Amino acid sequence: MGDEPLNTRREVVRIVGAGPTGVLLAILLQRRGHPVELYESLADPRQSGAQSGRSINLALADRGIHALQMAGVFKDIERSMLPMRGRLIHDAHGGTSLQPYGQRPNEVIYSISRHRLNVCLLDVAARQPGVNVHFQHRLETADFERGVARIRDIAQDRLIEVPMQPLLAADGAGSRLRRCMSAQQLITASETDLMHGYKELSIPPAPDGRHAMASDALHIWPRGDYMLIALPNEDGSFTATLFLAKRGTVSFESLTESAAIEDFLSRSFPDACRLMPDRVAEFQQHPVGFLGTVSAHPWHHRGMTLLIGDSAHAIVPFHGQGMNACFEDCAEFDACMARHSSWEAVFAEFAALRKPNTDAIAAMALDNYMEMRERVADHRFQLQQALSLELERRFPQRFIPRYSMVMFHHEIPYRTALERGTVQTELLQQLTAGSAATLDDVDFARAEQAIGARLAPLF
């Protein structure tokens, strides 16, 4: 390896996994002059259509958008994004209330089709000379002594060997490379499953072709131990996701008979059921998806391999940040490349900068799970939400709601959002303690004093 910065050398980089992380990385590496060989186990989605069994649409927010802008691919994706201005809560009696996500016109998140996003990124990558995508090529094993990975060419049914100098593992939450590194004790890694799984159901367009509910919101039916959410699609439909215990009295395991499924769905979500004609058949046919948190340390081995994206830090989906965090990884990796002359130094700096932040979003995503299925329906929580927006209006330099820091402020690292969010929650609890029922009952002089003492200016 030479001493010039990596962005002035041309070295072939191999990536495993052409999901959002792998393809955005390929685009960024190529822009820095590195030829890229990208290996993906599945067929080309531009020919094979959407993959079933994965979440159909995703929430894209500021961090992801910022990375896409930085990579120059946002324009290609922007037209497929549907804005969602807040959570529309559906209570058990069919009543609804909107909880805005933010308070400025740009403080919205966007629903985007996973398939469409992937295809857009692949189209951009394919337009770039020097990015070579090998579909139906599955990484099987890695020999770290010899520095080679073994990849199966599925169409030809033959095994090929490729050098890992370097090889970036963007092969998702179930990463084969991470499991190889862990099995050979090069890293320690854990995969913590949630007790809950998920299943997707669909809400077709209304007879006039339009969305059957408000299309500019993320719909939530919070029911304590379980919940249903729905995100809008471009074609007038919604994709609903039911989060429910995998085992137990009311669970995916126990709900097998049509009558029991219908009874559970129609009692829990009567208004949604009126819009889901195929609910029982879909419930029976669709797979249960697994949810969990991946943790690994270190993320890299010499200058040979690096875990990046979900392979390093998959999280539960309740903050809508998994892919956003992956895109932020790509932007951070790109910045590290500009600063160093060896892959080993790039990997080490990238992991050191990124891991505290991805640990923080992993914790906040788990916390948001309770918030979405339980707390959003609680009056005290709603008052605290309203107060946090009011405090942001009054003290914008010091108080930004944690949700807003995560979703709308890419310049605030996740770890800072977690730390400040903990202090802010304490303040909100103190300010709404006792009999406070509305914002008129809040002592704002006390709030100003506490905020001044405990929250340093952000900007």
Ligand X SMILES: Cc1cc2nc3c(=O)[nH]c(=O)nc-3n(C[C@H](O)[C@H](O)[C@H](O)COP(=O)(O)OP(=O)(O)OC[C@H]3O[C@@H](n4cnc5c(N)ncnc54)[C@H](O)[C@@H]3O)c2cc1C
Binding region for ligand X (CB under 6 A): 16-22, 39-42, 55, 58-59, 138-139, 170-173, 176, 198, 241, 289, 309-310, 317, 320-324, 326
- CB nearer ligand X, residue 328 or residue 392: 328
Contacts for 15 with CB less than 8 Å, ≥ 6 apart: 22, 25, 26, 29, 36, 37, 38, 39, 167, 168, 170
Contact predicate 72/122, CB 8 Å: no
Biggest CA–CA distance in the chain, Å, is 72
Length of the chain: 459
Cα of 154 vs its chain's centroid, Å: 29
Cα 122 from Cα 325, distance rounded (Å): 19
- CB nearer ligand X, residue 123 or residue 257: 123
Q: How far is the CB of 185 from ligand X (least distance, A)?
A: 20
Q: How far is the CB of 303 from ligand X (least distance, A)?
A: 21
Q: How far is the CB of 436 from ligand X (least distance, A)?
A: 33
Q: How far is the CB of 208 from ligand X (least distance, A)?
A: 28
Other residues' Cβ atoms within 10 Å of the Cβ of residue 195 = 12
The 131-134 sheet, strands edge to edge:
131-134, 36-39, 13-16, 167-169, 305-307, 300-301
- CB nearer ligand X, residue 94 or residue 287: 287
Q: How far is the CB of 326 from ligand X (least distance, A)?
A: 5
Q: How far is the CB of 378 from ligand X (least distance, A)?
A: 23
Q: How far is the CB of 315 from ligand X (least distance, A)?
A: 7
The 148-153 sheet, strands edge to edge:
137-143, 148-153, 158-163
Q: How far is the CB of 449 from ligand X (least distance, A)?
A: 37
Q: At 345, is the secondary structure helix, strand, or coil?
A: helix
- CB nearer ligand X, residue 330 or residue 427: 330
Q: How far is the CB of 405 from ligand X (least distance, A)?
A: 16
- CB nearer ligand X, residue 37 or residue 392: 37
- CB nearer ligand X, residue 9 or residue 138: 138
- CB nearer ligand X, residue 272 or residue 447: 272
- CB nearer ligand X, residue 86 or residue 320: 320
Tell how strand 36-39 and strand 13-16 pair up. Answer: parallel
- CB nearer ligand X, residue 21 or residue 432: 21
Distances (CA, A) of 455 to 395, 402, 459: 10, 13, 12
Q: Which long-range contacts (CB under 8 A, 24 or more apart) does 247-255 make?
A: 247/195, 250/225, 250/226, 252/197, 252/199, 252/288, 255/283
- CB nearer ligand X, residue 295 or residue 341: 295
Q: How far is the CB of 145 from ligand X (least distance, A)?
A: 20
Q: Which two tokens stand for residue 228?
A: 């249903």
Q: At 238, is the secondary structure helix, strand, or coil?
A: strand
Cα of 179 vs its chain's centroid, Å: 22
Question: What are the respective helix, strand and coil percentages of the chain, to the nearest 5?
Answer: 40, 25, 35
Burial class (CB in 10 A: 0-12, 13-18, 19+), 141: middle
